[in-house]
Structure 1
Amino acid sequence: MLELFRKYLSLRPPHVKHKRLFCTTKQENPVGKNTMGKIPSVVASYLKLPDVACYTGHCLRRSSATLLADAGVDITTIKRHAGWKSTTVAEGYVENSIENKTKIANQVLVGTTTSAITKTVNVSESNIPSNINFENCTNVTFNINVNK
C-alpha cells in the first residue's frame, strides 16, 4: 500500500500548492467532498450498472465500513474511522458481505459450533487425580462445585 501511495505522489505535478491528497488532472485543483461523492456513480456508469443514481458517496462509507468489519476490526475503530458516535449507526453501514456470508457458511459446514460437555467427577481426598489433560480445546469454561 505504501508503495502505491508513493507512486501516486510521484505523479503529482511539483508546482501544486495545496496539500490535499487528490487533485484534478486538468487544473491541479484539490478534489473536494462533492467530487469524491460523485465517483461511485461515475464508476457505475462506466460499468453500465443499472440505477446509476443509487451509487452515491455513502457507498464509499458503506464499503469501507464493511471491509473493515470483514477484516475483524472492532466497532469502536470503525466508528472512529467514519466519525460516527453511535454504534447503531455504524452497524447500519456494515453490509453482510458475500465474504462474511461465506465465512459463516464454512463454519456451519465444518462444524465449528459451541457445544457443552458435562462431566461429573466425584473426588474424595484420597483419590484426587494428579493431572487432567485437555487437548485441542478452545473457549473452555470450568465450573467447579464443592460440596461440603
Structure 2
Amino acid sequence: MNNCESEEIVEAANIAISNLLPTKSRSLYDIAYNRFKKWCAEKNVQVYSENVLLAYFSENARITSLPHYGRNILWLKPVTDIKRKKSKILTKSEIDRFLSSADDKEFLMIKVGLILGIAGACRTDELVNLTVDDIEDVGSSLIVKIPNTKTKIPRIFVVTDVGNILELFRKYLSLRPPHVKHKRLFCTTKQENPVGKNTMGKIPSVVASYLKLPDVACYTGHCLRRSSATLLADAGVDITTIKRHAGWKSTTVAEGYVENSIENKTKIANQNFILLLSLALLTDYLYYFINMV
C-alpha cells in the first residue's frame, strides 16, 4: 500500500471529519456507533485512544461510518487515513536536470507534461483532459486555459520561453498525426490514443526514477501540483497568489506549502538573525553610552 498521500486527500478527509453527523445518514451513523460500543464492551475497553480506534478499524475494515465518542477525544479517522505522508516534490534543480538530460525520443511527452503540470499547478485529470484548443501559442509564451476544474473555478496560466521549454512543446505538438480525431493534447507513443489518468499520474515517478531519487513511489500524481506551489513559496509569493494560481477555495492547503518551504524557512531564519543581531548591537551601544555618561 502506498504510504504517500496528496494534500487534496488530507483536505477532503478533514472536511469529512467536520461533517460527521449528516442528517440523512444519522440512522446509519447510530448503528455504527452502537456496533463500536458493543466491540468496546467485548474487549473491555474503558478509555478510547488512537490505538483502540486503529484496532477497531483493523478488525472491521469494511466499516465506513465513523462512531462518535466525545468532542474532547482524538477525532476518529479510518486506519488508512492515520499518519500518512504527503507526496514528495521536485525541486527546481531536479526539474532542470531532467529537462536538459533526458532523451526527447523517450521522454518528450513526460517533459511536456512536467512543464505544464508545474507551470499551472495542474491536477492529473486536468492534464489528461487538456486539449490542443486549450493552448494558445503567442510566440513568446503559451497561454493555457483549464476550463473544467475540481473546484469549478476555471484557471489560466502562462508558460514563458525559458530555456528550450517552448521548443519542447512545439516539437511534441508537431508529432501529432493530422488524422487524429480527438483533441486531447497528450497521446500515446503512437500519437493516436489519448493518455489515461494512470499514465499521466506516473509522470513524477518517471522523472524521479530517471534522476535516481529515493522513494520513487512517493512521487505521486499530485507531486506536480505540490511542486508548483512550493516553488512559488520559495520565490516569496504570498498565500493569496498561490491560492489563486492553484485554484484552491481554502487557504489551508496553500498555507501548508509555505510552512513546508525550506527556502522560506531559511529566509525567515535569516531575517530573525538580522533582527537579533541588530538588537545585540543596540544593547552594546546603550551599555557603552551609559557607562560613558
Q: CA deviation at 1:56?
A: 0.6
Q: Cα 1:107–1:27, aligned 2, differ >3 Å: closer, same or farther?
A: same
Aligned residues: 113
- Cα separation, 1, equivalents of 2:265 and 2:244: 25
1:97 is the counterpart of 2:262: yes
Q: CA deviation at 1:76?
A: 2.8
Q: Secondary structure at the match of 1:24?
A: coil
Match of 2:187 among 14, 20, 23: 23
Q: CA deviation at 1:62?
A: 1.0
Q: CA deviation at 1:55?
A: 1.2
Match of 1:54 among 218, 237, 258: 218
Q: CA deviation at 1:87?
A: 0.5
Q: Secondary structure at the match of 2:193?
A: coil
Letter of the structure 1 residue corresponding to residue 215 of structure 2: D
Q: Cα 1:74–1:34, aligned 2, differ >3 Å: closer, same or farther?
A: farther
Moved more, 79-88 or 2-11: 2-11
- Cα separation, 2, equivalents of 1:103 and 1:15: 53
Query: How large is the Cα RMSD of the aligned pairs?
Result: 3.1
Q: Contact 1:66–1:97 at 8 Å: present in 2 too?
A: no
1:64-103 to structure 2, matched below 5 A, reads 64-94=228-258, 95-98=260-263, 100-101=264-265, 103=267
Q: Cα 1:88–1:32, aligned 2, differ >3 Å: closer, same or farther?
A: same
1:42 is the counterpart of 2:193: no
Gaps of 5+ in 2: 1-159, 280-293
- Cα separation, 2, equivalents of 1:36 and 1:97: 28
Q: Secondary structure at the match of 2:173?
A: helix
Q: TM-score, normalised by structure 1?
A: 0.57
Post-superposition Cα deviations, 1:60-82, rounded to whole Å, max 9, x if no partner, equal: 11101111223343323322333
Higher share of residues assigned strand: 2
Q: CA deviation at 1:112?
A: 7.5
Q: Secondary structure at the match of 1:57?
A: coil
Higher share of residues assigned helix: 2
Q: TM-score, normalised by structure 2?
A: 0.32
Post-superposition Cα deviations, 1:98-135, rounded to whole Å, max 9, x if no partner, equal: 4x4554566567x478x89xxxxxxxxxxxxxxxxxxx
Q: Cα 1:33–1:82, aligned 2, differ >3 Å: closer, same or farther?
A: farther
Q: Cα 1:105–1:25, aligned 2, differ >3 Å: closer, same or farther?
A: same
Q: Cα 1:73–1:6, aligned 2, differ >3 Å: closer, same or farther?
A: farther
